[in-house]
Chain A
């Protein structure tokens, strides 16, 4: 399947809920995982992506196509990424960062992580726990110890003020 230079090659990706997607090889190899498969010659038929669902994969492919259409101009790529992520809700971002991790796409991982970090801005610990669905597994003593260790970043800070 090794394509001749200049001929656009199309890959078929399959999500874990059996949706099929066609994507240009030049865009798909933004994913190091896919690129390795292509280089190892395992990309002949359908490439199964067991950790990504169809909805997320559709988003990721939109991103792959969009970003690979932009010539090497980091400014423009950044503004594309910002625009691409601007309308994504928290659940989508979470799915996307996992998918980007699985697909090994560092530029998407970085951008989505920054976006998720933004979600935490000016929020209380309780809010972060609820939003991320993390159970507080500290004992009261442990929690006090962690607070003590980070005291200098805490004293005098009001929970959600920004006046």
Chain B
């Protein structure tokens, strides 16, 4: 048969099964194949980004970013990575698909969780950090928020009676204007960004996991909000069987309900993994540190300069 005259919809169907590097090859084969890639709804595929120097033994595509060697990925969203230098002095947003970088004011606190929501070039974007207070009696949470266009972090101390919330590395879910956090005991906390630094900004729900035995045995815990689902999910690993994970769904009254079968969903979770990528195919992924799933933003050379400027008064700290 002649592949030069193959119907476009068949090529597109084949393309939908092609990932990362093979997709790149696909567009280089010839004009007609590239035309299919350019118009395909599968044009932008999620990629696993990580910035370790050594190579990994998996089939993922990778890319070297020599200038990012001294920084770690803390979070990823909208194709952008939130990164911090290893010395903790420089915080910046980086888009690996077009090399754009936005330098951010460095927070005064070392946050356990740091994340951002909305596209970094949008005026709605904000960066959020949270940490359990490190000073006796550890009954406060340090919270910081940096909004697009503001030159410095706004910070506040929030009460954390009886250590109800023990913050962890897992990034929150941003939904209905609220940030949902999962703590090391499976408790869920909700932060209302619009009520920042008021008495109404923070609420902790405890014993969301009903069985005490489960709560005490959590070793890893992640929140995820699959696009196709309206509930928030959590994935827990328990220390008595680390190879087994349990998936729960958050009920309307903040209780974790065990999910027996997640059907054809695959959750990719690591501390900085972008939360909402799921697929039928796990692509042989293994555990990776400092990695993030990122969905490359479409290439837009017309990006206005001012969109990239968060706060002109930031000093030019180099990384």
Contacts and interface: CB of A to CB of B under 8 A. Distances in A.
Contact of B28 (A97, A114, A135, A147): A147
Interface string B41-60: 00000010000000101010
A15 B25 CA distance: 35
Contact of B64 (A136, A147, A156): A156
Given A152-B296, A155-B63, A162-B59, A136 B30 contact: yes
A142 B31 CA distance: 9
Contacts of B31: 137-138, 142
A91 B1 contact: yes
Interface in A111-130: 113-114, 116-118, 120-125, 128-129
Nearest to A94: B1
B13 A113 contact: yes
Contacts of A142: 31
B24 interface: yes
A156 B30 contact: no
A106 to B, nearest CB: 9
B96 A152 contact: yes
A113 B17 contact: yes
A153 B29 contact: no
Contacts of B18: 117, 120
Interface in A6-48: none
Contacts of B17: 113-114, 116-118
A95 B34 contact: no
A121 B61 CA distance: 12
A138 B35 CA distance: 12
Contacts of A138: 28, 30-31
B131 to A, nearest CB: 33
Contacts of A95: 1
Contacts of A94: 1, 3
A91 B2 CA distance: 10
B61 A157 contact: yes
Contacts of A91: 1
A153 B23 contact: yes
Interface stretch (B4-12, B115-123, B147-155, B185-193): B4-12
A97 B14 CA distance: 10
A110 interface: yes
Contacts of A122: 21-22, 59
B27 to A, nearest CB: 6
A163 B3 CA distance: 32
Nearest to A116: B14
B33 A113 contact: no
Given A98-B1, A120-B18, A155-B64, A146 B27 contact: yes
Contacts of B20: 153
Contacts of A137: 30-32
B286 to A, nearest CB: 14
A154 interface: yes
A128 B25 contact: yes
B238 to A, nearest CB: 28
Given A117-B18, A133-B3, A97 B27 contact: no
B202 interface: no
B47 A153 contact: yes
B96 A121 contact: no
A153 to B, nearest CB: 4
A113 B16 contact: yes
Nearest to A129: B29
Contacts of A117: 14-15, 17-18, 22
Interface of A: 91, 94-95, 97-98, 101, 109-110, 113-114, 116-118, 120-125, 128-129, 132-138, 142-143, 146-147, 149-150, 152-157, 162-163
10 contacts: A97-B10, A109-B10, A128-B26, A132-B3, A135-B30, A137-B31, A137-B32, A147-B28, A156-B63, A156-B64
Given A146-B27, A153-B21, A154-B63, 7 more contacts: A109-B10, A117-B14, A129-B30, A134-B29, A152-B96, A153-B24, A153-B63
